[in-house]
Amino acid sequence: RLAGSVGSTLRAVRAGWPAVVAAFDRVPRVLVHGDCLPKNIHVVATPGGFEVVPVDWGNAGWGLPASDLGQSTLSFGAPPIGRASYGAYAGALGPAWPACDVAVVRYLANLGRLLWSVKVIAMSVPGFVHDRLDKVEQHLSAYASVLAASARQWDRTA
């Protein structure tokens, strides 16, 4: 049942792929972390307050602005690092990309989360070598829930 649900959602994403391509055509490319989960974001105290230090840049590359913002709110049992500030992100991009606003950032963050979930499912399924089926189901279920939620949100905004 879980695999069927994932397959159904992936087929819907594939059917909407022209909208993904169109999104890439409309926005500038930026350097993205690619795996911007709380486990890869460290907050370090400094004399002036704090500094955010992203680690594990193995998936970095050129991508959609705000795509890391969508991943940063996923916790998978770890404490969340905070809420995404779409307004602050849009404001920071404003001088270089005046057409960017909160709605665009929200759309791109969700699309980034959707693409991340497709990536981790594609990378994880062939490598599931666990002695316990419940462990496989636990991981796939977590990824599938992110995929399904992101696909529903993306479908409403595409």
Token pair, residue 37, equals 């989960």
Residue 90 has pLDDT above 90, yes or no: yes
Residue 134 has pLDDT above 80, yes or no: no
The pLDDT-based confidence of 80 (bands split at 50, 70, 90) is low
Distance (Å, whole) CA 85 – CA 87: 5
The pLDDT-based confidence of 62 (bands split at 50, 70, 90) is very high
pLDDT at 127: 63
Query: Rg (Cα) of the chain, in Å, rounded?
Result: 17
Distance (Å, whole) CA 33 – CA 69: 10
Residue 40 has pLDDT above 70, yes or no: yes
Relative to beta strand 61-63, strand 41-46 is unpaired
pLDDT tens string 93-130: 899 999 999 999 988 988 888 888 888 888 777 666 66
Q: Is 122 exposed, middle or buried (0-12, 13-18, 19+ CB in 10 A)?
A: exposed
Distance (Å, whole) CA 71 – CA 108: 11
pLDDT at 120: 80
Residue 81 has pLDDT above 60, yes or no: no
Q: Please name which of 26, 51, 31 lies closest in space to residue 41, comparing C-alpha atoms.
A: 51
β-bridge mates for residue 53, sequence order: 42
